Amino acid sequence: MAPVLSAENLVKRFPGVVALKGVSFDLLPGEIHALCGENGAGKSTLIKTLSGIHPAGSYEGRIRVRGEVASFANSKDAERAGIGVIYQELALVPEMTVAENIFLGNEPRSFGWSIDWDRISRESQQLLDRFGLAIPTDAVVRDLGVGHRQLVEIAKALSKQTQVLILDEPTAALTEQEVEVLLDILRDLRQRGIALVYISHKLDEVFAIADRITVLRDGQSIVTLETAATTKNEVIRHMVGRPIENLFPRRPGKVGETRLVVENLTVTEGGHTRLEGISFEVRAGEVLGIGGLMGAGRSELLMHIFGAYGRRTGGRVLLDGRPLGPGQSPTESIRRGLVLVSEDRKRYGLVLDLSIGFNMALSSLEDVAVGPGSFGLIDDDRERRRNEEFFQSLRVKAPGLETPVGTLSGGNQQKVVLAKALMTRPAVIFLDEPTRGIDVGAKLEVYELMNRLTDAGQAVVLVSSELPELMGMSDRILMLAEGRSGGTFLRSEATQEKLLAAAMGGEPVTP
Amino acid sequence: MSEASSRSSINVRTLAMPAALLVIGLFFALKSPEFLSARNLSMLAIEVSITAVLALGMFLVILPGHIDLSAGSGVGLIGGLSAVLIFEYGWPAPVALLAGLVAAALIWLGMGTIIVRERVPAFIITLGGLLVFRGLHWLVIHNATIPVSRGGEANLYSLLTTYYLPPVAGWVLAAVIILLMAMAAWRRSRRPGADRERIFLQTFVVAQLIVLFVLVCNAYRGVPLPALILAAVTFTIFTITRQTPFGRYLYAIGGNEEAAVVSGVPVAKVSIGAFLIMGIIVAITGFLQTAYAGSSTTTVGTLMELDAVAACVIGGTSLKGGRGTVFGVLMGALIMAALLNGMTLLAVSPETKYVARGLVLGLAVWADVRLSRK
């Protein structure tokens, strides 16, 4: 059978980074083809190239649709060629109805100008019926759950004679039941001859649904495997590329005096109690891990202590023996020696249009300025020397300090955020998902950095949703369950089972 | 993108504005030889100075993503207030001007506080300000014409736009400024990785322009005082935006406010600070514009806020905040002022003037968007 879509040796360069270094794969009609790879392996870039967001001419290599070389100038061209993409971030207009969204930008007209509303509601009803979706076509999208929105997206893509449907992490935000519904629908689409590219971190799903699996690593396609003839372990081995001996090189430091004390903390936001009765301590030279399921309040806890979230209705926080807050600003927290690296670096970490140097220095400008506070005069030479020092010690890969930070890869962006935090010379550092979306090499560098920090007597709080990372890099672990403490564990006694039980709100286990 | 191509694309954009200015200048010079006369160029210098001072204040407000639509009405109100204090209450001019300055600072501090702390869009609050200040202005001057001095004698207020530096003083000042610039350039060029050729060229061109400017002004009555005020304001705003944490914070807030908060930027204080500085600049512009008109009338300051916004935007400032330069704003102000001056010289009717200014604004921004996309 001839492939409906194929990529031949795609190479895509960004300033300072080669995101794709030769990716080839083909997609047969009526198959589900999974793309697997670590974060930063090039999956998102590949999708954007296949769907015309990176236009023809901006990459090397060839894309063929049904054998013909395709050169998409934009995503509309790709749509016309029958390629539809459903992104991680959904692209529906929340204020519009299901039917309006399905035909948005593609409205059927009568007399060539007047939108044919009858046809819109009739055809969207037919689309939804075809998949047995019990969603009213006149429901407003904002009232739908994430699972249903996902299905509306699929219906929207299918309204355009789509023959290739690319799904980027479609189940990231779905419940188990919703995942089942989605997978059934995808199998149904396969029956109808539509070819699907399925991208997911969850190997269970991949093995449940995919016919073939292509593994990407460091911007290259490594291998394509028949699902029936492979194992999860083999896929993982290809993804990582080498048997990694020591994934988590934690080197416990010399534990010193207590730096941060949190006692019986209760926090409300928007009239709801989000955190209740949480207590913990962090000492110099120590990494405290904080885990929990989605929505357990991990990030909220860090953000609150830092001064950027919620209202404190009980308890207290001591930093180096003196009370911190309630209601202090992040500016004040940083001045006192507490700094936060947010889980969402694009939103809370970086001014993307501005340079690496600008971003690195932002939190500690007054340290390199002479004169009163915000109106002191910045000493350019001191600022640049300091920037260069961190640029080199954190091994940021970029043409120079003047490069806009938005053009860097995830790992390098994260290094810029870390540099910004470290320049404030903090006593306590909050790291919220510091390795999210960065590749294996950069992850190891972040872990090494954590070791250096604790060696230097700083205290680290690490929030992570990945249990292996949490168990591998923390000296002690606090599990949160729905805003409450689910138990504290020493590194030596933590097991995945115990931590999960604590995260589900099981019996608190005292160390 | 290679370094060479990124540099050349910056060159295209920075040269586009001087080129546009040159075209405008040539057009008016051909249509009316009077345009390039020493007298008219001196008048133009005064007009540019007034527009540019206000535009530089607007720049500080736009950088963190706000806007000030009340600036023009404020110019009328503050200028009128000080004029009334002198003409009707007999206050000494310096005291009356100081009173106007303090009043403006307080009013803009108040507006900034409401906008930032209460999170009401600046567009709405300053639109309200536009109406309120216009009303108050007319009330203060009871719809009359209030001269800036009693009995036509010169005072500090009237001298603001009628004082010219003696020719010798002009040359001495030019020499001092060029010397300081040369010293700054020498320091910059010693830094590792500095582009010496570029620094030398920049300094050389600016020095030549200063000499030319003094030469032209001295051919009429000398360097006008507003040009010196503009120089001082430019130097201050340039230093603030380039060399202080406060200025960096303005860019950070405009670029990504949430990231600025988490980075420890005192977002509220800095944004309110920008409005406070804007108040002071509105007062300075109010004194200049009223003095230039000779007296406070109901039309002084009308639509000046739009010229200021236009100067910023033509100069490459993003209305979303986070992007723009002092140099760009100056060029933008020069373009707007030259256009108005030239058309007045050609006795173009007011209705045509409005249309032409609107078209230039639209065209300039369209061209900028096109150029920056490449």
For residue A344, being part of any structural domain is answered with: no
The label of the residue with tokens 């929207």 reads A156
Same domain, A225 and A281: no
For residue A445, being part of any structural domain is answered with: yes
Angle at A274 between CA A271 and CA A275, to 5 degrees: 135
A335 to B264: CB separation less than 8 angstroms, yes or no: yes
- Closest residue in chain B to residue A360, using alpha carbons only: B263
For residue A346, being part of any structural domain is answered with: no
Cα distance between residue B351 and residue A496, in whole Å: 77
For residue A342, being part of any structural domain is answered with: no
Token pair in block for residue B73: 């009405």
Report the amino acid identity of residue A213.
I
Confidence of residue A76 (pLDDT cuts 50, 70, 90): confident
Q: Which chain B positions have a beta carbon within 8 Å of A358's beta carbon?
A: 248, 251-252
Phi then psi for A353, rounded to 5 degrees? -75, -20
For residue A119, being part of any structural domain is answered with: yes
Same domain, A75 and A222: yes
Confidence of residue A204 (pLDDT cuts 50, 70, 90): confident
Confidence of residue A511 (pLDDT cuts 50, 70, 90): very low
Domain boundary residue among A196, A217, A240?
A240
Cα distance between residue A64 and residue B188, in whole Å: 53
pLDDT digits (tens, 9 = 90+) for A250-301: 888 788 999 999 999 999 988 888 899 999 999 999 999 998 877 788 999 9
Same domain, A413 and A432: no
Question: Do the Cβ atoms of B330 and B79 come closer than 8 Å?
Answer: no
Question: Do the Cβ atoms of B334 and B328 come closer than 8 Å?
Answer: no
User: Pick from B287, B311, B360, B309: which is nearest to B130 by CA?
Assistant: B309
B244 to A354: CB separation less than 8 angstroms, yes or no: no
Same domain, A391 and A473: no
CA A307 to chain CA centroid, nearest Å: 23
For residue A249, being part of any structural domain is answered with: yes
B251 to A354: CB separation less than 8 angstroms, yes or no: yes
Cα distance between residue A225 and residue A34, in whole Å: 10
A374 to B269: CB separation less than 8 angstroms, yes or no: yes
Packed helices A146-158 and A176-191: angle between N→C axes, nearest 10 degrees: 10
**Does the structure show a pLDDT above 70 at A19?**
yes
Domain that holds residue A84: 5-240
Domain boundary residue among A397, A425, A453?
A425
Question: Do the Cβ atoms of B264 and A349 come closer than 8 Å?
Answer: no
CA distance B116 to chain A (A): 15
Give me the residue from B246, B251, B259 closest to A375, CB to CB. B246
The answer to whether the Cα torsion of B260, B262, B266, B268 is positive or negative is positive
Token pair in block for residue A110: 């009568």
Q: Which chain A positions have a beta carbon within 8 Å of B3's beta carbon?
A: 399
pLDDT number for residue A39: 63
Q: Which chain A positions have a beta carbon within 8 Å of B240's beta carbon?
A: 375
Report the amino acid identity of residue A358.
F
A354 to B239: CB separation less than 8 angstroms, yes or no: no
pLDDT number for residue A89: 66
pLDDT number for residue A96: 87
> Is pLDDT larger for residue B251 or for residue A133?
B251
Q: Characterize the bridge pairing of strands A195-199 and A32-36.
A: parallel
User: Pick from A157, A34, A32: which is nearest to A87 by CA?
Assistant: A157
For residue A50, being part of any structural domain is answered with: yes
Same domain, A104 and A224: yes
Fill in the DSSP letter of residue A509: B
Residues belonging to chain A with any Cβ–Cβ distance to chain B shorter than 8 Å: 15, 306, 308, 329-331, 333-335, 339-340, 342, 347-354, 358, 361-363, 365-366, 369, 373-378, 380-381, 399, 420, 424
Q: How would you class B361 by CB atoms within 10 Å of its CB: exposed for 0-12, middle for 13-18, buried for 19 or more? A: buried
pLDDT tens over chain B, length 374 residues: 333 333 444 556 667 788 888 999 999 999 998 999 999 999 999 999 999 999 999 999 999 999 999 999 999 999 999 999 999 999 999 999 999 999 999 999 999 999 999 999 999 999 999 999 999 999 999 999 999 998 878 899 999 999 999 999 999 999 999 999 999 899 888 877 778 888 898 899 999 999 999 999 999 999 999 999 999 999 999 999 999 999 999 999 999 999 999 999 999 999 999 999 999 999 999 999 999 999 999 999 999 999 999 999 988 888 888 999 999 999 999 999 999 999 999 999 989 998 988 898 888 778 777 766 64
For residue A74, being part of any structural domain is answered with: yes
Cα distance between residue B226 and residue B284, in whole Å: 10
pLDDT number for residue B2: 36
Question: Do the Cβ atoms of B148 and B161 come closer than 8 Å?
Answer: no
Instruction: Name every residue whose Cβ is closer than 8 Å to that of residue B119 and which is 6 or more positions away in sequence.
Output: none
- Closest residue in chain A to residue B239, using alpha carbons only: A377
Element (H, E) at A484: strand A484-490
Cα distance between residue B79 and residue A64, in whole Å: 69
Confidence of residue A499 (pLDDT cuts 50, 70, 90): confident
pLDDT number for residue B14: 67
Same domain, A376 and A268: no
Report helix, strand or coil for A302. helix
A vs B: CB pairs below 8 A: 92
User: Pick from B116, B254, B277, B275: which is nearest to A362 by CA?
Assistant: B254
Phi then psi for A278, rounded to 5 degrees? -95, 130
B262 to A342: CB separation less than 8 angstroms, yes or no: yes
Please tell me the total count of domains within chain A.
Answer: 3
**Does the structure show a pLDDT above 90 at A417?**
yes
> Is pLDDT larger for residue A1 or for residue B8?
A1
Report helix, strand or coil for A15. coil
Domain boundary residue among A377, A393, A425?
A425
Instruction: Name every residue whose Cβ is closer than 8 Å to that of residue A366 and which is 6 or more positions away in sequence.
Output: A373, A374, A376, B245
Same domain, A127 and A227: yes
pLDDT digits (tens, 9 = 90+) for A458-477: 999 999 888 888 888 999 99
Give whole-number Cα distances, B279 to A57, A295, B63, in Å: 51, 46, 16
The label of the residue with tokens 């030319």 reads B212
A331 to B258: CB separation less than 8 angstroms, yes or no: no
| Complex confidence, ipTM | 0.86
Same domain, A360 and A489: no
pLDDT digits (tens, 9 = 90+) for A162-195: 899 999 888 776 777 778 888 988 998 899 889 9
Same domain, A90 and A182: yes
Helix intervals (H) in A314-401: 330-336, 356-361, 380-393
Same domain, A222 and A252: no
List the CATH number of the domain containing A39: 3.40.50.300
Give me the residue from A335, A350, A358 closest to B248, CB to CB. A358
Element (H, E) at A166: strand A164-168
Same domain, A254 and A360: no
pLDDT number for residue A338: 96
Report long-range pairs for B162-167 (Cβ below 8 Å, ≥24 apart). B162/B291, B163/B224, B163/B225, B164/B42, B164/B217, B164/B220, B164/B221, B164/B222, B164/B223, B164/B224, B164/B225, B165/B217, B165/B222, B165/B223, B165/B224, B165/B225, B165/B228, B166/B222, B167/B218, B167/B222
Instruction: Name every residue whose Cβ is closer than 8 Å to that of residue B106 and which is 6 or more positions away in sequence.
Output: B279
Same domain, A277 and A213: no
pLDDT number for residue A122: 87
CA distance B256 to chain A (A): 5
User: Pick from B257, B322, B243: which is nearest to A375 by CA?
Assistant: B243
Cα distance between residue B353 and residue B343, in whole Å: 7
Average pLDDT, chain A: 87
**Does the structure show a pLDDT above 70 at A66?**
yes
Element (H, E) at A214: strand A212-217
Model confidence, pTM: 0.79
pLDDT number for residue A242: 62
Q: How would you class B78 by CB atoms within 10 Å of its CB: exposed for 0-12, middle for 13-18, buried for 19 or more? A: buried
Give me the residue from A329, A365, A381 closest to B248, CB to CB. A365
pLDDT digits (tens, 9 = 90+) for A356-410: 999 999 999 999 999 888 899 999 889 999 999 999 999 888 888 999 998 887 8
Strand ranges in A342-427 using DSSP code E only, listed in sequence order: 369-370, 377-378
Facing residues of A273 across strands? A268
Q: Which chain A positions have a beta carbon within 8 Å of B248's beta carbon?
A: 358, 361-362, 365, 378
